[in-house]
Each structure stands twice: as structure tokens, then as C-alpha cells.
Amino acid sequence: MRPYEKNPSAIYAQSFATVRSEARLDRFGPGMQALAIRLIHACGMVEVADRLAFSPAAYEAGRDALLGGAPVLCDCEMVGAGIIRRYLPAENEVVVTLNDPRVPGIAAGIGNTRSAAAVELWADRLEGAVVAVGNAPTALFHLLELIDQGAPKPALILGFPVGFVGAAESKAELAERPRGCEFVALRGRRGGSAIASAAVNALAAGLPEEKGD
């Protein structure tokens, strides 16, 4: 057996030292740098730093929203599962509506996917929320459609849908026309639930180098 590191604190320290040495982080302020490092750590790809699009006040808006007790609205269960609850500063509610029994009927009614239909059920929690999309491009597209139609605006949109159909396009729509919302998005096809969860964890607690988590 090859020798391997067993100390959690040492693992984190080495991981984040590697990210800092290999990724181009100089364009980020302190908060966004912590978020970028978390994302890279979650997926193992330092090039993520070069593909992040974000509004100037994105990190502060998300952090302040969580401190104020805002809910985190997630497009799928895996995003919600990856959020470390003990990091959340105000026992923030983590909301996933994808498996709500009303969703299939809503999807049929609006002629869209279940992921898009689940976004319809965010209406009463959307204003000032932190939205984390890590799976379905249709969820992000439909959120933007609802905002165009007058829905309340979240404090921050984390746009990390993944895939070959609509993922790059939905994130480009967010980055190019954010509708007055603060946002972070990973341009291109890459994304995923782990990255979306990591973004929320960064907003909630920064980096875990001294936490041993």
C-alpha cells in the first residue's frame, strides 16, 4: 500500500495550498477567492477559476442574505445534500421542491420539465433568497423567465447547471442579462451539484482549512 495522508487538517491544508499554487486567483477579491477555491476543491479542476463569471457584489450579497436568515433554494436533492448545515449562520432553511407531488401537474401545465416546474413552487420564498442551481438548465432558464414576468428577485443566483443541452446557454443568459440580480456562474458545459453546494458552503463559512471538515 502506498503511504497516504490521514490527518484531516493536513489534507485540507495541502489541498488548498495546491489550488492556490496552480489556479489563477488574482482577479478575485477575498470573498470570491474563497468561493473559487471551494469550487476548484469540489471538482479538482483549477481551470474553473478562469471560467467563473460573477457580479461585483455577488459574494457579499450571498453572505449577507445567509446572515439575515434567507433560505437556500436548490434545484435538486443532491445540491441540498451537499450543503453543510452546521456552517449555515442562521439555521437557514434548505429548500428542494423537485419531489413535491404537485410538480408533475405543474410541468404538464407549463409544458416544461419537472425541474422547471419545481421552480414555480419557490414563489413565496424567492425574494432575497440564495438560489443554487447545480443540475438542470431548465431550472435556471425558468427562474429567469419568472423574474422577467415580475417574480421577486433573489439576493443571489448561483448558476452551475451541467450538461450538453442548455447548460452553457442558461449560464450565458444569466451572466449577460442578470435582471438586476447578483450572480455567480460557471461558463460552459461544466457544473454540477457538488460545485453548487460548495458555493453555498463558501458563502456560509469561507474556507474549512481550520475546521477539519
Domains of the chain, residue spans: 8-205
Q: Residue 68's pLDDT is what?
A: 98
Q: Residue 85's pLDDT is what?
A: 97
Q: Hey, what amino acid is at 57? A: A
Q: Residue 12's pLDDT is what?
A: 86
Q: Residue 59's pLDDT is what?
A: 97
Q: Residue 212's pLDDT is what?
A: 44
Average pLDDT over residues 120-132: 98
- For residues 81 and 212, give the distance between their C-alpha atoms in angstroms, rounded to a whole number: 19
C-alpha neighbours within 13 Å on the C-beta side of residue 19: 26
Average pLDDT over residues 159-164: 97
Residue 125 backbone class (left: φ over 0; alpha: ψ -120 to 50; beta: rest):
alpha
Does pLDDT of 209 surpass 80? Answer: no
Q: Residue 213's pLDDT is what?
A: 52
Quote the percentage of the chain above a pLDDT of 90. 93
Does pLDDT of 20 surpass 90? Answer: yes
Average pLDDT over residues 157-185: 98
56: burial class by Cβ within 10 Å (0-12, 13-18, 19+)? exposed
Task: Establish whether 142 is a catalytic residue.
Answer: no
Q: pTM, whole model, 2 decimals?
A: 0.94
Does pLDDT of 109 surpass 90? Answer: yes
Average pLDDT over residues 92-114: 98
Mean pLDDT of the chain: 95
Does pLDDT of 210 surpass 70? Answer: no
Of residues 208 and 7, which shows the higher confidence score?
7
Q: Residue 206's pLDDT is what?
A: 80
- Cα torsion 72, 73, 77, 82 to 10°: value is -30
pLDDT tier at 15 (50, 70, 90 boundaries)?
very high
Q: What's the CATH fold of domain 8-205?
A: Rossmann fold (3.40.50)
The grid coordinates listed for 18 are: 495546491
Cβ proximity of 131 and 73 under 8 Å: yes
Average pLDDT over residues 185-195: 96
Residue in 41, 114, 153, 171 annotated catalytic: 41
Long-range contacts of 77-82 (CB under 8 A, 24+ apart): 78/134, 78/135, 78/193, 78/194, 78/197, 79/132, 79/133, 79/134, 79/135, 79/193, 79/196, 79/197, 79/200, 80/197, 81/193, 81/197, 82/193, 82/194, 82/196, 82/197, 82/198, 82/200, 82/201
